Amino acid sequence: MKIDIRQEAGSFAENKDVARMLRETRIEPALASEEEIILDFDGVEGATQSFMHALISQCIRNHGPEALDRIAFKGCNPTIRKIVEVVADYMQEA
Amino acid sequence: MRIHLPNSAFLGNIDSFLRSQDLTEPQQLIITANRKWIAIHPVVLAMVAALGQNAAKTVCEELEAASKHYLERMGLFAFLGIDSGISIVAHEPAGRFIPLTRVEDSEGLTRFLTEMVPLLHLAPAEAEPIRYVVSELIRNVLEHAETDGAIVCAQYYRKSNRIAIGIADTGVGIRQTIRRSHEAPTHLEAIRLALMPGITGTTRQEGGTEYNAGAGLFFIKSLATINRDFFLLYSGDAFYKLLKSGAKTPRLHSDPFEDRHAAKEGLPSWRGTVVGIDLSLDATASFTELLDSIRETYTTTIRERKRQKRRPRFI
Protein backbone atom coordinates (compact mmCIF):
# COMPACT_ATOMS: atom_id res chain seq x y z
CA MET A 1 0.00 0.00 0.00
CA LYS A 2 1.31 3.47 -0.85
CA ILE A 3 0.40 6.74 0.84
CA ASP A 4 1.09 9.93 -1.08
CA ILE A 5 2.10 12.33 1.69
CA ARG A 6 2.13 15.39 -0.55
CA GLN A 7 -1.42 14.73 -1.62
CA GLU A 8 -2.54 14.18 1.97
CA ALA A 9 -0.48 16.77 3.86
CA GLY A 10 0.81 19.24 1.28
CA SER A 11 4.37 20.26 0.42
CA PHE A 12 5.16 21.12 4.04
CA ALA A 13 3.97 18.22 6.15
CA GLU A 14 3.15 19.71 9.53
CA ASN A 15 -0.51 19.00 10.20
CA LYS A 16 -0.50 16.41 12.99
CA ASP A 17 -4.21 15.79 12.65
CA VAL A 18 -3.63 14.59 9.11
CA ALA A 19 -0.70 12.45 10.28
CA ARG A 20 -2.79 10.85 13.00
CA MET A 21 -5.66 10.21 10.58
CA LEU A 22 -3.27 8.50 8.13
CA ARG A 23 -1.82 6.35 10.88
CA GLU A 24 -5.13 5.34 12.36
CA THR A 25 -7.02 4.69 9.15
CA ARG A 26 -4.32 3.37 6.85
CA ILE A 27 -0.94 2.58 8.42
CA GLU A 28 -2.08 0.72 11.53
CA PRO A 29 -4.61 -1.46 9.68
CA ALA A 30 -1.97 -2.29 7.06
CA LEU A 31 0.54 -3.22 9.77
CA ALA A 32 -2.07 -5.36 11.49
CA SER A 33 -2.60 -7.30 8.28
CA GLU A 34 1.18 -7.55 7.73
CA GLU A 35 1.02 -5.52 4.56
CA GLU A 36 4.00 -3.55 3.21
CA ILE A 37 3.55 0.22 3.43
CA ILE A 38 5.25 2.87 1.34
CA LEU A 39 5.14 6.41 2.70
CA ASP A 40 5.81 8.44 -0.42
CA PHE A 41 7.35 11.84 0.34
CA ASP A 42 7.94 12.76 -3.32
CA GLY A 43 7.27 16.47 -3.72
CA VAL A 44 7.27 17.14 0.01
CA GLU A 45 9.75 19.94 0.78
CA GLY A 46 9.71 19.73 4.55
CA ALA A 47 8.14 18.04 7.54
CA THR A 48 8.10 18.67 11.26
CA GLN A 49 9.16 16.24 13.95
CA SER A 50 5.64 16.55 15.38
CA PHE A 51 4.12 15.41 12.10
CA MET A 52 6.48 12.45 11.84
CA HIS A 53 5.90 11.53 15.47
CA ALA A 54 2.13 11.51 14.97
CA LEU A 55 2.60 9.47 11.79
CA ILE A 56 4.87 6.65 12.97
CA SER A 57 5.68 6.71 16.69
CA GLN A 58 2.69 4.67 17.80
CA CYS A 59 3.40 2.09 15.10
CA ILE A 60 6.85 1.54 16.61
CA ARG A 61 5.40 1.45 20.12
CA ASN A 62 2.63 -1.00 19.18
CA HIS A 63 4.53 -3.28 16.83
CA GLY A 64 8.10 -2.82 18.05
CA PRO A 65 11.05 -1.81 15.86
CA GLU A 66 9.88 -4.50 13.42
CA ALA A 67 7.27 -2.00 12.25
CA LEU A 68 10.12 -0.24 10.45
CA ASP A 69 10.78 -3.43 8.45
CA ARG A 70 7.36 -3.10 6.90
CA ILE A 71 7.32 0.67 6.34
CA ALA A 72 9.41 2.14 3.52
CA PHE A 73 10.04 5.88 3.26
CA LYS A 74 10.20 6.91 -0.38
CA GLY A 75 11.41 10.14 -1.97
CA CYS A 76 12.65 11.77 1.26
CA ASN A 77 14.91 14.80 0.87
CA PRO A 78 17.85 14.97 3.32
CA THR A 79 15.89 16.98 5.91
CA ILE A 80 12.88 14.69 5.92
CA ARG A 81 15.19 11.70 6.06
CA LYS A 82 16.84 13.11 9.20
CA ILE A 83 13.49 13.78 10.84
CA VAL A 84 12.38 10.20 10.17
CA GLU A 85 15.66 8.99 11.70
CA VAL A 86 15.28 11.18 14.79
CA VAL A 87 11.79 9.85 15.52
CA ALA A 88 12.75 6.24 14.77
CA ASP A 89 15.79 6.57 17.05
CA TYR A 90 14.10 8.05 20.09
CA MET A 91 11.12 5.72 19.85
CA GLN A 92 13.47 2.74 19.94
CA GLU A 93 15.33 4.19 22.92
CA ALA A 94 12.09 4.93 24.79
CA MET B 1 -3.11 46.90 32.81
CA ARG B 2 -0.53 49.43 31.71
CA ILE B 3 2.04 48.93 29.00
CA HIS B 4 4.71 51.46 28.12
CA LEU B 5 6.30 50.93 24.72
CA PRO B 6 9.91 51.89 25.31
CA ASN B 7 12.54 53.42 23.13
CA SER B 8 14.02 49.99 22.52
CA ALA B 9 12.91 46.46 23.43
CA PHE B 10 14.52 43.59 21.57
CA LEU B 11 15.30 40.15 22.92
CA GLY B 12 18.73 41.20 24.15
CA ASN B 13 17.37 44.05 26.30
CA ILE B 14 13.73 43.07 26.83
CA ASP B 15 14.09 42.43 30.58
CA SER B 16 13.23 45.96 31.66
CA PHE B 17 10.15 46.04 29.42
CA LEU B 18 8.91 42.79 30.95
CA ARG B 19 9.48 44.12 34.45
CA SER B 20 7.73 47.40 33.66
CA GLN B 21 4.38 45.88 32.68
CA ASP B 22 1.44 46.38 35.01
CA LEU B 23 -0.79 43.36 34.39
CA THR B 24 -3.29 44.06 37.17
CA GLU B 25 -6.90 45.05 36.39
CA PRO B 26 -7.16 43.07 33.13
CA GLN B 27 -10.44 44.67 32.06
CA GLN B 28 -8.64 47.82 30.86
CA LEU B 29 -5.43 48.26 28.89
CA ILE B 30 -3.66 51.61 28.84
CA ILE B 31 -0.84 52.02 26.34
CA THR B 32 1.77 54.74 26.55
CA ALA B 33 4.98 55.07 24.57
CA ASN B 34 8.33 56.74 24.34
CA ARG B 35 7.83 60.18 22.85
CA LYS B 36 10.84 60.18 20.53
CA TRP B 37 11.34 56.74 19.05
CA ILE B 38 9.84 53.26 19.46
CA ALA B 39 11.89 50.30 18.25
CA ILE B 40 10.41 47.02 19.44
CA HIS B 41 10.69 43.33 18.70
CA PRO B 42 7.62 41.63 17.20
CA VAL B 43 7.20 39.74 20.47
CA VAL B 44 6.32 43.03 22.21
CA LEU B 45 3.66 43.74 19.60
CA ALA B 46 2.25 40.23 19.98
CA MET B 47 2.07 40.71 23.76
CA VAL B 48 0.26 44.05 23.53
CA ALA B 49 -2.19 42.63 20.98
CA ALA B 50 -2.82 39.58 23.18
CA LEU B 51 -3.53 41.76 26.21
CA GLY B 52 -5.76 44.05 24.17
CA GLN B 53 -7.92 41.25 22.85
CA ASN B 54 -8.96 40.31 26.38
CA ALA B 55 -9.46 43.82 27.72
CA ALA B 56 -12.94 45.29 27.64
CA LYS B 57 -11.44 48.72 26.98
CA THR B 58 -8.13 49.73 25.42
CA VAL B 59 -6.84 53.27 25.58
CA CYS B 60 -3.74 54.41 23.71
CA GLU B 61 -2.28 57.85 24.29
CA GLU B 62 -1.62 59.95 21.20
CA LEU B 63 1.74 58.79 19.95
CA GLU B 64 4.43 61.34 19.13
CA ALA B 65 7.37 59.08 18.25
CA ALA B 66 8.62 59.43 14.70
CA SER B 67 8.46 55.67 14.30
CA LYS B 68 4.80 55.40 15.29
CA HIS B 69 3.80 54.42 11.73
CA TYR B 70 5.56 51.08 12.32
CA LEU B 71 2.89 50.12 14.87
CA GLU B 72 0.18 51.00 12.35
CA ARG B 73 1.91 49.05 9.60
CA MET B 74 2.16 45.98 11.83
CA GLY B 75 -1.58 46.19 12.41
CA LEU B 76 -1.49 46.93 16.14
CA PHE B 77 -4.25 49.53 16.17
CA ALA B 78 -6.49 47.56 13.85
CA PHE B 79 -5.99 44.59 16.13
CA LEU B 80 -6.91 46.64 19.18
CA GLY B 81 -9.85 48.31 17.44
CA ILE B 82 -8.34 51.79 17.81
CA ASP B 83 -8.31 54.48 15.13
CA SER B 84 -4.75 55.80 15.40
CA GLY B 85 -5.17 58.52 12.80
CA ILE B 86 -1.79 57.46 11.37
CA SER B 87 -1.64 57.09 7.59
CA ILE B 88 0.93 54.84 5.97
CA VAL B 89 2.05 53.81 2.50
CA ALA B 90 0.49 50.38 2.20
CA HIS B 91 3.17 48.72 0.09
CA GLU B 92 6.56 49.94 1.18
CA PRO B 93 9.22 48.25 -0.94
CA ALA B 94 11.41 47.49 2.09
CA GLY B 95 8.57 45.83 3.90
CA ARG B 96 9.43 42.28 4.73
CA PHE B 97 7.13 41.62 7.62
CA ILE B 98 4.09 39.74 8.77
CA PRO B 99 1.57 41.97 10.51
CA LEU B 100 -0.19 40.84 13.66
CA THR B 101 -2.28 37.80 12.86
CA ARG B 102 -4.39 35.56 15.03
CA VAL B 103 -4.14 31.86 14.14
CA GLU B 104 -7.12 30.05 15.60
CA ASP B 105 -6.99 26.50 14.29
CA SER B 106 -5.08 23.92 12.32
CA GLU B 107 -6.42 25.05 8.95
CA GLY B 108 -5.57 28.64 9.82
CA LEU B 109 -2.02 27.57 10.62
CA THR B 110 -1.63 25.79 7.27
CA ARG B 111 -2.90 28.94 5.51
CA PHE B 112 -0.61 31.17 7.56
CA LEU B 113 2.47 29.06 6.75
CA THR B 114 1.66 29.15 3.04
CA GLU B 115 1.29 32.95 3.03
CA MET B 116 4.25 33.59 5.33
CA VAL B 117 7.09 32.59 3.00
CA PRO B 118 6.27 35.04 0.15
CA LEU B 119 5.53 37.82 2.65
CA LEU B 120 9.03 37.51 4.07
CA HIS B 121 10.59 37.07 0.60
CA LEU B 122 12.43 33.98 1.77
CA ALA B 123 14.60 31.76 -0.38
CA PRO B 124 13.78 28.03 0.01
CA ALA B 125 16.82 27.31 2.22
CA GLU B 126 15.94 30.29 4.45
CA ALA B 127 12.29 29.35 4.61
CA GLU B 128 12.91 25.83 5.89
CA PRO B 129 13.86 26.52 9.54
CA ILE B 130 11.54 29.52 9.84
CA ARG B 131 8.49 27.64 8.64
CA TYR B 132 9.46 24.81 10.96
CA VAL B 133 9.78 27.03 14.03
CA VAL B 134 6.55 28.94 13.41
CA SER B 135 4.61 25.76 12.75
CA GLU B 136 5.77 24.03 15.92
CA LEU B 137 5.29 27.09 18.14
CA ILE B 138 1.79 27.88 16.94
CA ARG B 139 0.77 24.24 17.06
CA ASN B 140 1.88 24.18 20.71
CA VAL B 141 -0.56 27.00 21.43
CA LEU B 142 -3.41 25.36 19.53
CA GLU B 143 -2.89 22.07 21.35
CA HIS B 144 -1.98 23.06 24.87
CA ALA B 145 -2.94 26.65 25.66
CA GLU B 146 -6.72 26.16 25.90
CA THR B 147 -7.36 29.57 24.42
CA ASP B 148 -8.72 31.05 21.23
CA GLY B 149 -5.49 30.97 19.26
CA ALA B 150 -2.01 32.37 18.94
CA ILE B 151 -1.09 35.91 18.01
CA VAL B 152 1.94 36.08 15.78
CA CYS B 153 3.93 38.66 13.85
CA ALA B 154 7.40 38.81 12.31
CA GLN B 155 9.87 41.29 10.91
CA TYR B 156 12.94 41.00 8.71
CA TYR B 157 15.90 43.22 9.64
CA ARG B 158 18.13 43.88 6.69
CA LYS B 159 21.11 45.22 8.64
CA SER B 160 21.48 42.10 10.77
CA ASN B 161 19.91 39.82 8.11
CA ARG B 162 17.60 38.13 10.57
CA ILE B 163 13.94 37.37 11.02
CA ALA B 164 12.43 38.22 14.40
CA ILE B 165 9.28 36.36 15.37
CA GLY B 166 6.91 36.94 18.26
CA ILE B 167 4.10 34.64 19.37
CA ALA B 168 1.84 35.24 22.37
CA ASP B 169 -1.19 33.60 23.86
CA THR B 170 -3.31 34.20 26.93
CA GLY B 171 -3.99 30.56 27.71
CA VAL B 172 -3.21 28.37 30.69
CA GLY B 173 0.57 28.79 30.53
CA ILE B 174 3.42 26.31 30.60
CA ARG B 175 3.23 25.39 34.28
CA GLN B 176 -0.37 24.24 34.19
CA THR B 177 0.32 22.15 31.08
CA ILE B 178 3.50 20.56 32.43
CA ARG B 179 2.02 19.87 35.88
CA ARG B 180 -0.47 17.43 34.38
CA SER B 181 2.36 14.91 34.27
CA HIS B 182 5.39 16.37 36.07
CA GLU B 183 6.22 18.19 39.26
CA ALA B 184 6.89 21.85 38.60
CA PRO B 185 6.88 23.88 41.80
CA THR B 186 7.61 27.14 39.99
CA HIS B 187 6.96 28.67 36.57
CA LEU B 188 10.69 28.69 35.88
CA GLU B 189 10.99 24.99 36.64
CA ALA B 190 8.05 24.33 34.32
CA ILE B 191 9.77 26.30 31.55
CA ARG B 192 12.95 24.32 32.17
CA LEU B 193 11.09 21.01 31.88
CA ALA B 194 9.24 22.14 28.76
CA LEU B 195 12.58 22.80 27.06
CA MET B 196 13.99 19.35 27.85
CA PRO B 197 13.72 16.69 25.16
CA GLY B 198 11.06 14.07 25.74
CA ILE B 199 9.22 15.96 28.49
CA THR B 200 5.58 16.69 27.73
CA GLY B 201 2.64 17.60 29.91
CA THR B 202 0.57 14.90 28.26
CA THR B 203 2.38 11.91 29.82
CA ARG B 204 5.32 10.77 31.97
CA GLN B 205 6.02 8.00 29.48
CA GLU B 206 9.36 8.16 27.61
CA GLY B 207 8.70 8.83 23.94
CA GLY B 208 5.54 10.75 24.76
CA THR B 209 2.08 9.85 23.61
CA GLU B 210 1.05 8.87 20.10
CA TYR B 211 0.44 12.58 19.45
CA ASN B 212 3.03 14.44 21.56
CA ALA B 213 6.73 13.73 21.92
CA GLY B 214 7.77 16.69 24.03
CA ALA B 215 10.39 17.59 21.47
CA GLY B 216 9.13 20.76 19.79
CA LEU B 217 10.62 23.38 22.10
CA PHE B 218 13.89 21.47 22.42
CA PHE B 219 14.22 21.46 18.62
CA ILE B 220 13.62 25.19 18.48
CA LYS B 221 16.03 25.99 21.30
CA SER B 222 18.60 23.78 19.56
CA LEU B 223 18.17 25.67 16.31
CA ALA B 224 18.72 28.95 18.14
CA THR B 225 21.73 27.54 20.00
CA ILE B 226 23.55 26.32 16.91
CA ASN B 227 22.82 29.51 14.99
CA ARG B 228 23.69 31.74 17.98
CA ASP B 229 20.27 33.35 18.07
CA PHE B 230 18.22 34.74 20.95
CA PHE B 231 15.24 32.71 22.14
CA LEU B 232 12.85 33.87 24.86
CA LEU B 233 10.17 31.93 26.70
CA TYR B 234 8.01 33.82 29.22
CA SER B 235 5.14 32.29 31.16
CA GLY B 236 3.71 33.04 34.58
CA ASP B 237 6.18 35.11 36.58
CA ALA B 238 9.32 33.72 34.91
CA PHE B 239 11.29 33.93 31.74
CA TYR B 240 14.10 31.95 30.21
CA LYS B 241 16.29 33.58 27.61
CA LEU B 242 18.83 31.71 25.56
CA LEU B 243 21.79 34.02 25.04
CA LYS B 244 24.09 34.00 22.07
CA SER B 245 26.80 31.43 22.51
CA GLY B 246 30.38 32.62 22.24
CA ALA B 247 31.65 29.11 21.54
CA LYS B 248 33.11 28.36 18.13
CA THR B 249 30.93 25.27 17.88
CA PRO B 250 28.02 25.60 20.30
CA ARG B 251 27.01 22.37 22.04
CA LEU B 252 23.44 21.24 22.53
CA HIS B 253 22.36 20.53 26.07
CA SER B 254 19.24 18.71 27.12
CA ASP B 255 19.03 20.86 30.26
CA PRO B 256 18.43 24.46 29.15
CA PHE B 257 20.13 25.72 32.32
CA GLU B 258 23.41 24.33 30.97
CA ASP B 259 23.14 26.62 27.95
CA ARG B 260 24.33 30.20 28.13
CA HIS B 261 21.14 31.82 29.34
CA ALA B 262 19.37 34.34 31.56
CA ALA B 263 16.45 33.31 33.74
CA LYS B 264 14.36 35.46 36.03
CA GLU B 265 11.42 34.98 38.36
CA GLY B 266 9.13 37.45 40.13
CA LEU B 267 8.11 39.28 36.97
CA PRO B 268 4.56 40.52 36.37
CA SER B 269 2.63 37.29 35.91
CA TRP B 270 1.74 36.59 32.28
CA ARG B 271 -1.31 34.39 31.99
CA GLY B 272 -0.34 32.28 29.02
CA THR B 273 2.91 31.97 27.11
CA VAL B 274 5.10 34.33 25.15
CA VAL B 275 7.81 33.21 22.73
CA GLY B 276 10.29 35.43 20.94
CA ILE B 277 13.01 34.24 18.63
CA ASP B 278 15.54 35.78 16.26
CA LEU B 279 16.62 33.62 13.35
CA SER B 280 19.74 34.68 11.53
CA LEU B 281 19.65 34.11 7.79
CA ASP B 282 23.48 34.02 7.81
CA ALA B 283 23.35 30.76 9.74
CA THR B 284 26.33 28.60 9.00
CA ALA B 285 24.88 25.27 10.02
CA SER B 286 22.37 23.76 7.62
CA PHE B 287 19.07 22.52 8.94
CA THR B 288 20.12 18.97 8.06
CA GLU B 289 23.36 19.27 10.06
CA LEU B 290 21.38 20.61 12.97
CA LEU B 291 19.08 17.60 12.89
CA ASP B 292 22.12 15.33 13.23
CA SER B 293 23.12 17.12 16.44
CA ILE B 294 19.56 17.03 17.78
CA ARG B 295 19.28 13.33 17.07
CA GLU B 296 22.44 12.59 19.04
CA THR B 297 21.52 14.76 22.03
CA TYR B 298 17.93 13.56 22.10
CA THR B 299 18.65 9.83 22.04
CA THR B 300 21.53 10.16 24.54
CA THR B 301 19.23 12.04 26.92
CA ILE B 302 16.52 9.39 26.77
CA ARG B 303 19.12 6.64 27.28
CA GLU B 304 20.55 8.46 30.31
CA ARG B 305 17.11 9.05 31.78
CA LYS B 306 16.23 5.39 31.41
CA ARG B 307 19.40 4.51 33.35
CA GLN B 308 18.26 6.80 36.13
CA LYS B 309 14.93 5.03 36.50
CA ARG B 310 13.79 4.53 40.06
CA ARG B 311 14.85 1.28 41.71
CA PRO B 312 12.62 -0.67 44.08
CA ARG B 313 13.26 0.09 47.72
CA PHE B 314 13.82 -2.95 49.90
CA ILE B 315 13.70 -2.34 53.63
Domain boundaries, chain B: 92-307
Whether pLDDT at B277 is above 60: yes
Note the pLDDT of residue B95.
64
- More confident site: B211 or B282: B282
Find the closest chain A residue to B204 by CA distance.
A94
Identify the closest residue of chain B to A45 by CA–CA distance: B128
Chain A interface, Cβ < 8 Å to B? 10, 12, 14-17, 20, 23, 45-46, 48-50, 53-54, 57-58, 61, 78-79, 82-83, 85-87, 89-91, 93-94
For residue A28, the one-letter residue type is E
Give the pairing of strands B150-157 and B97-103. Answer: antiparallel
- Is-above-0.90 flag for pTM? yes
**Residue of B106, B122, B126, B135 best to disrupt the A interface, most CBs of A under 10 A:** B135
Helix, coil or strand: residue A31: helix
How sure is the predictor about B231, in pLDDT bands with cuts at 50, 70 and 90?
Answer: very high
What chain B residue is nearest to A19 in terms of C-alpha separation?
B211
Task: Flag the least confident range among A35-49, B113-127, B187-201.
Answer: B113-127
CA distance B193 to chain A (A): 18
What is the C-alpha to C-alpha distance for residues B54 and B47, in angstroms, rounded to an integer? 11
Give the β-pairing of A12-13 and A46-47: parallel
Q: Least CB-CB distance to A90: which of B131, B211, B298?
A: B298
3-class SS letters over A3-18: EEHHHHHCCEECCHHH
Residue B152 has pLDDT above 60, yes or no: yes
Confidence of residue B128 (pLDDT cuts 50, 70, 90): confident
Q: What pLDDT, on the 0 to 100 scale, is given for residue B249?
A: 80
Distance CA B12, CA B9 (A): 8
pLDDT at B5 over 90: yes
Is some CB atom of chain A closer than 8 A to the CB atom of B13?
no
Q: Which chain A residues are Cβ-neighbours of B208 within 8 angstroms?
A: 53, 57, 94
A vs B, Cβ pairs < 8 A, gives: 98
The residues near B264 (Cβ < 8 Å, ≥ 6 apart) are B15, B238, B239
pLDDT at residue B290 greater than cutoff 90: no
**Residue A77 to chain B, least CA–CA distance (Å):** 10
More confident residue, B149 or B309: B149
Name the nearest CA neighbour of B120 among B67, B150, B157.
B157
Q: Please say if the pLDDT value at position B75 is more than 70.
A: yes
B105: pLDDT strictly greater than 90:
yes
Phi, psi of B128 (to 5 degrees): -55, -60
Whether residue A72 is predicted with pLDDT greater than 50 in this model: the reply is yes
Is the pLDDT at B92 greater than 70, yes or no?
no
- Flag whether residue B298 sits within 8 Å of chain A, measured between CB atoms: yes
Tell me which chain A residues have a C-beta less than 8 angstroms from the C-beta of B139: 14, 16, 48, 50
- Fold of the domain built from segment(s) B92-307: Heat Shock Protein 90 (3.30.565)
